[in-house]
Amino acid sequence: MNTFKIGGVHPEPNKLTADRKIETLALPKQAVFPLSQHIGAPAVPCVQKGDTVRVGTRIAEPGGFMSASIHSSVSGKVAKIDSVIDASGLRKPAIFIDVEGDEWEPSIDRSDKLILQSNKSRDEIIECIKNAGIVGMGGACFPTHVKLCPPKECTIDTLIINAVECEPYLTADHRLMLEHPDEIIIGIKIILKVLGIDRAVIGVEANKPDAISLLQSKTSMVSGIEVMPLQMKYPQGGEKQLIEAVTGRQVPPPPALPANVGCVVQNVGTVFAIYEAVMKNKPLFERIVTVTGKGLKNPCNLKVRMGTPVSQLIEYAGGMPEDTGKLISGGPMMGRPLLDDTAPVVKGTSGLLMIPEADAIRREERNCIRCAKCVQACPMGLEPYLLATASEASDWECAEENWIMSCIECGCCQSTCPSRRPLLDWVRLAKNRVGGIIRARNAKK
């Protein structure tokens, strides 16, 4: 079985919810939509206080080329445009909508019927995806319409579907594949049409044999789509690692893109959203969220309207355990800590994880004993110990020379460090500073 070559770790999978069916969560009383749910410029509100909206109404327009629109997931009145603390931990502008009933935009096809064919052209499909506000659902939230228009000078030959879900605990993509395989395959065909190529590979880690066999049986009759089981290793779901695992090609360091090696990677959740947008005319306002944690009474996979406060999800899953020390949006390796349970579910919320206090507290930091475990674990071939030391000493030059901008912030180094050093905290700081220095240098030129 294929996998990527350099580094990687094997965290405990802890997939507690792998065999829980997706359940639908009730509507919230008030839904909150932060204006920056994606990479790039924040969206600009196109509703005002007091406006009536329906499910699927666009409430914010893209604020630039690299941006995405936002749609209401509920029907009701716009209560206010204020600010909310989201998963970044910062106060961000957001639209608040008081829920009244559940009235959908009439253009949305709400039936379960599978639509196999569409006669939309390539440009129409891209427009459709853009209007639906679709962003990468894996967590990075990169606007999808931008990703589907790779630079002209790159020849794309392979579409890779990221169904790896290498983050421990999370099972949202796994359940989606089991319950909606046909929609995903149609979605892949749509993307192939947009890219004008005929080869797609679905990369799935070997710990999901049911999903692999299901997709294999569904794709056996479809030419061009291949299901590739991959050896379990974190961070296989990282874009660059997945491309290497599937095709053997290595993406050069930034600013190079996957398109430079002829690949486009899409998350399986994004593919499903594309199907719904193109075939059902349904914008992105729902997603599947894994609510999980070892102390949780009823860990589950939920279909959630965006804007729902996470407290409602936690309540559904049996309430936050007494000993919870950390509430994380996303998985344990790359997720972001939430400041409290009032934050809303956004496009990038793939999971909600509660970690008991005993596991949440970091152990006391010690001297680096130079064991080189971080160097061996780093999937990008970096030296995290050196980068962290350089960052601590504010030696940005040294950090840049040692390829800090290649870091994908996967957390392998820190999770293996026997001295419990906060390596990634320091690397992230240095990455931020070096990024600023590079931008300033480029601006001068």
Partner 1 sequence: MAQKLYITTSPHVHCGDTIERNMRTVIWALVPAFIASVFYFGLGAVIVTATSVASCLFFEWFITRVFLKRPSTLADGSAIITGILLAFNMPSNIPLYMIVMGALVAIGIGKMVFGGLGNNPFNPALVGRVFLLISFPAKMTSWPVPHQMTAYTDAVTGATPLNLIGQIAGGNSAAVDQLPGLKDLFLGNIGGCIGEVSAVALLIGLIILLWRKVITWHIPVTILATVAVLTGIMWMINPVLYVNPLYHLCAGGLMLGAIFMATDYVTSPMTTTGMVWYGIGIGFLTVIIRYFGSYPEGMSFAILIMNAVTPLINNWCKPKRFGEAVK
Partner 2 sequence: MSFILTAVLVLGLTGLVLGLVLYAVSRKFKVETDPRVGQITELLPGANCGGCGFPGCAAFAEACVKSDSMEGLKCSVCKSEVMQQIAAITGHAVEVGVEKVAVVRCAGSCDNRPGLRVYDGAKSCAAAALMNGGATGCFFGCLGCGDCVKACKFDAIKMDPETGLPVVDQDKCTACGACAKACPRNVIELRNKNKLDRRVYVSCVNKDKGPVAKKACAVACIGCGKCVKICPFEAITLENNLAYIDFEKCRLCRKCVDECPQHTILAVNFPPKKVVAPAEPKAEETPQAPVEPAPMPENTVEQQKAE
* Distant-in-sequence, close-in-space partners of 209: CB < 8 Å, separation ≥ 6: none
Site for partner 2 in 361-380 (CB under 8 A): 361-362
Among 24, 107, 121, 432, binds partner 2 (CB under 8 A): 432
- Which residue's CB is nearer to partner 1, number 222 or number 393? 393
Site for partner 1 in 230-289 (CB under 8 A): 240, 244, 249-253, 256, 261
Could you tell me the smallest distance in angstroms from the CB atom of residue 315 to partner 1? 12
Site for partner 2 in 322-351 (CB under 8 A): 336-337, 339-340
Could you tell me the smallest distance in angstroms from the CB atom of residue 167 to partner 1? 10
CB-based burial of residue 63 (10 Å sphere; 0-12 exposed, 13-18 middle, 19+ buried)?
middle
Going by their DSSP bridges, the two strands 58-61 and 70-71 should be labelled as antiparallel
Range in contact with partner 2 (rule: CB under 8 A) among 117-125, 236-244, 295-303, 427-435: 427-435
Sign of the CA dihedral with 144 first, then 1, 380, and 351 last: positive
Could you tell me the smallest distance in angstroms from the CB atom of residue 326 to partner 2? 9
* 357 and 387 Cβ atoms separated by less than 8 Å: no
- Cα torsion for 392, 394, 398, 400, to the nearest 10°? 100
- Of residues 422, 294, 423, 287, the one with CA closest to residue 353: 294
Q: Which does 88 bind (CB under 5 to 8 A by kind): partner 2, partner 1, none?
A: partner 2
Q: Where would I find the beta strands (DSSP E) of 247-401?
A: 263-267, 286-293, 300-305, 324-329, 336-337, 351-356
Amino acid type, 396: W
Note the residue count of the chain: 445
* 29 and 404 Cβ atoms separated by less than 8 Å: no
- Asked if 85 touches partner 2 (CB under 8 A), the answer is yes
3-state helix, strand, coil split of the chain in percent (to 5) is 30, 20, 50
Q: Which does 250 bind (CB under 5 to 8 A by kind): partner 1, partner 2, none?
A: partner 1
- Of residues 387, 379, 292, 366, the one with CA closest to residue 332: 292
Range in contact with partner 2 (rule: CB under 8 A) among 37-45, 72-80, 164-172, 357-365: 357-365
Q: Which two tokens stand for residue 280?
A: 């059902």
For residues 165 and 203, what is the distance between their CA atoms, to the nearest angstrom?
A: 10
For residues 408 and 334, what is the distance between their CA atoms, to the nearest angstrom?
A: 10
In whole angstroms, what separates CA 250 from the centre of its chain? Answer: 21
- Of residues 386, 382, 390, the one with CA closest to residue 408: 382
| Binding map of partner 2 across residues 27-66, x = CB under 8 A, - = no contact | ----------------------------------------
- Which residue's CB is nearer to partner 2, number 77 or number 336? 336
Could you tell me the smallest distance in angstroms from the CB atom of residue 286 to partner 1? 26
* 273 and 284 Cβ atoms separated by less than 8 Å: yes
Among 15, 38, 233, 373, binds partner 1 (CB under 8 A): 373
Could you tell me the smallest distance in angstroms from the CB atom of residue 267 to partner 1? 18
Q: How many CA atoms does the CB half-sphere of 404 hold within 13 Å?
A: 31
Range in contact with partner 2 (rule: CB under 8 A) among 48-56, 115-123, 224-232, 360-368: 360-368
Could you tell me the smallest distance in angstroms from the CB atom of residue 87 to partner 1? 11
Amino acid type, 421: R
* 367 and 392 Cβ atoms separated by less than 8 Å: no
Site for partner 1 in 61-90 (CB under 8 A): 89
Could you tell me the smallest distance in angstroms from the CB atom of residue 254 to partner 2? 19
Could you tell me the smallest distance in angstroms from the CB atom of residue 384 to partner 2? 13
Range in contact with partner 1 (rule: CB under 8 A) among 59-67, 149-157, 205-213, 329-337: 329-337
Site for partner 1 in 386-415 (CB under 8 A): 386, 402-403, 406, 409, 411, 414-415
- Which residue's CB is nearer to partner 2, number 221 or number 358? 358
Count the site residues for partner 2 by CB under 8 A.
20
- Which residue's CB is nearer to partner 2, number 93 or number 181? 93
Binding site for partner 2 (CB under 8 A): 85, 88-91, 336-337, 339-340, 360-362, 392, 422, 425-426, 428-429, 432-433
